Structure 1
């Protein structure tokens, strides 16, 4: 393997950040060499790379070189951007996750931004650590990060059931600290969802936020390209495609609130935060009316009044009215889900009051089939719908292999699963570049 010399960052990068990113390829454990013992990338949290950071000179490795230095164990994930492989260093036996980003989908600048941002944030115990492994192959840019042995948060959320409340509270606290740390650095993650929360144990006693490909500075103007998912804030859904919008921390706050709902219920609260979505519109009308006690949107009746106050602050329709993520810590001491409101008898009693186009309890399946399918049957659905069910939690699907990921862009499309004879909706993250 050839020595390509020391990698240098642009002169515009702050000196403290430059010191943390300028890594010599000589010797074991250096990013430039792509080999040696992979070590945690130490970085100074006092600053972060500037947006116009120029390219580093990355060492090139052939597929044979990669196989010589690392033993492939299995694939951890795959998407339009590329893939993540679990490998073990052949000399030291260290297991690491190698992220391969396809060159045809991502600019070098975008790849290096993600690498350097992750490194600058790695000093937080709640953010995944990037390692001193950085190289390119013929078709991919590659960097290493610590391996989370228990998968991601999505893997453990039972659809339409949700996680135990104590586990949810542990996640809330750790993710809240991760996001608050980012926000203190004027950085916005912009892709908060369970797939980007990595687990080091199945009880969520140690979790970390990952995937900073869409992270931008507060105040940065980005363009909206296409698509939404339930975690996308309403102001982003409404943004003019040509003008784009300014990045704010309130976008992460909204996504965090939706994620807490998903963890507690195993459902999405809505498909998109837009007036055309009946569940979102019902929730918005309830908020606009002042969130009257005793009158709850159909998907929110299982929560305690304390939890509803928390969601009211996290999911305020106006961005300026949303609280900070650390403000949810005061709600962790309260019960979030009401056992009384979860009971079928309570839900059926509430369902008897529906009228004018709202489905009653007779629209739902029998209680025995409800128990067997582990569904949360709601007493009613928003007016103008016909027995509309809550949307079960599902993983984001990237079905358009030709969509570029420059500036971390991805597209929402409807595609066909090649292994099934049915259409699947691709619910990729809100696309902003």
Structure 2
């Protein structure tokens, strides 16, 4: 992160530790046994369940809810995990309100869907608490696959390949596995080190080793990986953060939102995380909301989230937008950054008001800011990659790239939405395709 030496308004410990603990407690407290049974009883167990169609990992939602209703949450967990090995984290961070729960028949009829996400968490947490890993490895195949990136796509791919009997080495540039689940999710969405615990649980399948501090360009080359392994899967995510492209962007106090979120997630003591008095977050997606809400929870007095388009065009879901508003974040739309103003450090940021075509209307606004977080998207990094189109690795069904023996999935690939659950599905499907190719 950029030095705060010139911005004395950015300080740690704005709130007492007790207030911070309350602010960063679990966003959705887990269901107890009785609450889970009551929630499960609301499901109609639809034969042509629209919730299943809306789930990127194709979980049999009516089946796992019925299994909870009949008192077998461990069986429900296996139903979930067969399709989504990171079902515990997805239950916490997946935007169910725009996927499975949005199309729930209860939502259509009553405006209150079955709590699919909370029920999924109940089942997977129950199984993990029992210390059970419900899957076993097939007989060893003698094949060895390299997985680059220990995020949701890479972990999902590695687990499925290990189940098939292949040996897998995961290479990751960071010192800890998990990718965005570990470094890029708001702290109040994944408490008590759950991401790390889920990775450790996943590794119980066996056959997977992890080498940290190694990424493409930092100790690894794609040619060498191809030569040393029977197949390669790239789950490298998006590393670079897009620039604002305005005067003054290099001033002290202008930071990347993803770095801020990662610092929060890895902090041993939230009272040591510095935050400004007047914070401005630029962007309209989940990362922008996560940064803005957490800035407010850390004690920032004024937090504004500014997006260049209308509110209906924000990538953040309506639930996330409402969460930001209820936490005291001011949302300003149709405003595009024009200049960062200050003497060495940011003091204000000026915006052009824009119309629906993003053209300036001639009106401007200045916001006081001692800290600005950029959350306007990330970009693919690295050289010597397979064919890239529109900033992502081009893949076909099953994740095959333009290079023979190389597959890709997750945020780095041209598949579906940039969601944890989508990355899991793409890693799983690539593993199945890799296995079929190696078995042919």
Give TM class, smaller chain.
under 0.3
**Which structure has more RCO (C-alpha within 8 Å, separation ≥ 6)?**
2
TM-score, length-normalised on structure 1?
0.24
